Structure 1
Amino acid sequence: MQISSQFDSGNIEVIEASSADNIQLAIRKDNQSDFYQWFHFKLHNNERSEHVLTITNAGQSAYLEGWTEYQAVASYDREHWFRVPTSFDGQNLTIRFTPEYDSVYFAYFAPYSYERHQNLLHNAQLSDECQLQVVGQTIDGNDISVLKIGQEAEGKPVIWLTARQHPGETMAEWFMEGFIERLLDPDDGVARSLLSRAVFYLVPNMNPDGSIRGHLRTNAVGVNLNREWQDPSIEQSPEVYFVREKMLETGVDMHLDIHGDEALPYNFVAGCEGIPSYDERHKLLEESFKEVLLAITPEFQDEKGYDKDEPGKANLTVGSNWVGETFKCLAYTVEMPFKDNDLLPDEETGWSGARSHLFGRDVLTAIFHVVDDLR
């Protein structure tokens, strides 16, 4: 029996693997941080008996509610990920699985590899509408990449999307893949119309260091990027520092920050009602955007989500709050589940990379319906 996580985004420690029915594991913490929840590893064994894999430190992980009614994902080919029987007793997360083939991967959610990230960027740049820009480097020396799609012109709104500030929230980059592919489709009328009326700046992965290292929430030195927006530094949070500088250069008329939520089994958005400059225009823009999403996809809902901040009490270190206040623009955090969308469940896959991809495409339609009201 072999258990390995020595690959891109891998994360697991083997405590004991004496037999198929006694595999004891632990999730490694993010570097210089106490955050952990993301796991991704490979099991190789020729036995076809039931394997019992126990993650023994799940009870001290970052988001205990994330394990309630959670099912891990597995894959034989690293393309199709399916849910496997998983239980949590308050301390141990136990996966029971009988392999059909010699080697199988397990993960917290369908991984989005750094290699796929590079393919996404470089395929996008082949479009005449797209420029691949590098605005800086991370602590580990990876590029901080921005896709500029469309041409700037006087009066055109500037729309920013950022994703995967928290690297373990891989659904965010699956979302971006769907969004980018549709925006660059020359046969898509919504995309063509939008590019005649707006310019887009897209960051598919804000945190490549954490993604490669197999982190849940932080960058290479244990910094939560989504608490750095008010005062980032090149030393601790260059990812936010350089993206923020680019935003200040281009201006922002709309910002969506794409995330995943461990506990809530729904797709929803979180607005910036608590920022000091929040007003009636801001409220109407938020409501218009949500109404369109509700009309075009049953994957979205607006009844379950985070509590709204009290007026003037928003945390301005959070990306969408800082952007909304700084640019007085429509700014949302978009959340997707690690589990399933309980309003439209899929027993085989739960919420998945493919569904995140499609949701990204749907969001383009919602932007189409509000773009003329952004300025």
Structure 2
Amino acid sequence: MMISTEFDSGNIEVVSADAPDQIRLRIRKDNESEFFQWYHFKLFAQTDVKHTLIIENASESAYPKGWEHYYSFASYDREHWFRVPTSFDGKKLTITHTPEQETVFYAYFVPYSWERHLDLLQWAQQSAWVEQRCLGLTLDGREMNLLVVGEESPKKRKVWITARQHPGETMAEWFVEGLLEHLLNEDEPVSRQLLDQVVFYIVPNMNPDGSVRGHLRTNAAGVNLNREWAEPTLEKSPEVFHVLKAMDAIGVDMYLDIHGDENLPYNFVAGSEGIPSYDERHANLERLFKEAYLRATAEFQTKYGYDVDAPGQANLTVASNAVGERFKCLAFTVEMPFKDNDDLPEPYQQWSDIRSRLLGRDTLKAILDVANDLR
């Protein structure tokens, strides 16, 4: 047996791997940070033998409740991922699997590699509707990429979408991939209607360094980017600095920041109720979008989510709050589960890369329904 993490987003530490029924592991912390929960590793295994993989520090992770009713992902070909039996006893996470092939990959959620990210950018660029821009560089020297979709015009609404501020929340970039696939489909009537009214500004990966390093929540400097939107700096959070600078130059009429939630088994949004400028117009826009989202897909619900901030008490370091206040626009954090959507359970894959892509597609319908009301 051997375990490897020497690849994009690899993360695990081996305590011992002497016997298939007692493989002891620990998840490595984000660099310069106490956050950890993301894992991704390759096992060289004995086929048709039950393997027991024990993550010993699971209870010390960022979101220990996230392990309850959670099942790990596994894959033989890195394209098709499936869930495997997983249990949490309050201290250790135990993955039990009998490999059918000599090597198998395991991950907290379906990985979205840097190579696939680059492929997505170049694929999108082939559309006559798309311009790819580089906003600046990360601390590790990677590009901060922006896709501009649609013909820019002062009359059109400006919709910004950012994804994966927290790099371990890979469902966010799968969401963007699905959204782009349908937005750039010339035979899709929703897309044609949208691009007559809207220009999209899409950052598919807000945290390239953390993604490649195998982080859960932070960038190369150990900084949580979704707490940097009040005063981002080139020294700590150039990713946010560059995107916010572009927003200031272009303007924002609507903003969606795409995430994954470790604990809650639902799809939901978090609004800007607590920002200082929140008023009746803002409240009405939020209501219209939620109603449109409910019509667009059965995957969305409004019963479960985060507690609503009291008036004037929003954390303005958080992206959706900061952008909603700065531009007086409709702004939401969109959350997807790591587990399953308990409203529509699917026993084989639970919530997955495929369902994340479909939610991205269906979000376009909700945006179209509110586009005329954004100004």
Q: TM-score range by the shorter chain?
A: over 0.9
- State the distance in 2 between where 1:122 and 1:206 align: 17
Per the TM alignment, residue 292 of structure 1 is displaced from its structure 2 partner at its CA by 1.2
Q: Assess if the C-alpha contact under 8 Å between 2:47 and 2:100 holds in 1.
A: no
Instruction: Indicate the residue corresponding to 1:143 in structure 2.
Output: 143
- State the distance in 1 between where 2:101 and 2:363 align: 38
Instruction: Indicate the residue corresponding to 1:178 in structure 2.
Output: 178
- State the distance in 2 between where 1:257 and 1:155 align: 24
Per the TM alignment, residue 295 of structure 1 is displaced from its structure 2 partner at its CA by 1.4
**TM-score, with structure 1 as normaliser:** 0.99
In structure 2, give the amino acid aligned to 1:136: G
Q: Assess if the C-alpha contact under 8 Å between 2:160 and 2:255 holds in 1.
A: yes
For residues 275-311 of structure 1, what are the alpha-carbon distances to aligned partners after superposition, in whole Å with 9 as ceiling and x for unaligned?
0000111111111111111112111100000000000
- State the distance in 1 between where 2:81 and 2:348 align: 9
SS of residue matched to 1:18: coil
SS of residue matched to 2:326: helix
SS of residue matched to 1:128: coil
Superposition pairs of residues 243-254 of structure 1, within 5 angstroms: 243-254=243-254
Q: Assess if the C-alpha contact under 8 Å between 2:296 and 2:363 holds in 1.
A: no
In structure 1, give the amino acid aligned to 2:29: K
Per the TM alignment, residue 190 of structure 1 is displaced from its structure 2 partner at its CA by 0.8
Instruction: Indicate the residue corresponding to 2:67 in structure 1.
Output: 67
- State the distance in 2 between where 1:229 and 1:302 align: 26
Instruction: Indicate the residue corresponding to 1:196 in structure 2.
Output: 196
SS of residue matched to 1:365: helix
For residues 309-360 of structure 1, what are the alpha-carbon distances to aligned partners after superposition, in whole Å with 9 as ceiling and x for unaligned?
0000000000000000000000000000000000111111010000000000
In structure 1, give the amino acid aligned to 2:109: F
How many residues are treated as equivalent by the alignment?
375
Q: CA RMSD in A?
A: 0.6
For structure 2, list consecutive stretches of 5 or more residues without a partner in the other structure: none
Q: Percent identity?
A: 62
- State the distance in 1 between where 2:93 and 2:332 align: 33
SS of residue matched to 1:302: coil
For structure 1, list consecutive stretches of 5 or more residues without a partner in the other structure: none
Tell me which stretches of 4 or more aligned residues in structure 1 moved more than 4 Å. Answer: none
- State the distance in 2 between where 1:152 and 1:52 align: 54
Instruction: Indicate the residue corresponding to 1:364 in structure 2.
Output: 364
**TM-score, with structure 2 as normaliser:** 0.99
SS of residue matched to 1:292: helix
In structure 2, give the amino acid aligned to 1:304: Y
Instruction: Indicate the residue corresponding to 1:27 in structure 2.
Output: 27
Instruction: Indicate the residue corresponding to 1:114 in structure 2.
Output: 114
Per the TM alignment, residue 154 of structure 1 is displaced from its structure 2 partner at its CA by 2.5
Q: Assess if the C-alpha contact under 8 Å between 2:71 and 2:86 holds in 1.
A: yes
Per the TM alignment, residue 245 of structure 1 is displaced from its structure 2 partner at its CA by 0.0
For residues 39-77 of structure 1, what are the alpha-carbon distances to aligned partners after superposition, in whole Å with 9 as ceiling and x for unaligned?
000101234211000000001000011011111110111
Instruction: Indicate the residue corresponding to 2:257 in structure 1.
Output: 257
Per the TM alignment, residue 184 of structure 1 is displaced from its structure 2 partner at its CA by 0.8
For residues 236-282 of structure 1, what are the alpha-carbon distances to aligned partners after superposition, in whole Å with 9 as ceiling and x for unaligned?
10000000000000000000000000000000000010000001111
Instruction: Indicate the residue corresponding to 1:84 in structure 2.
Output: 84
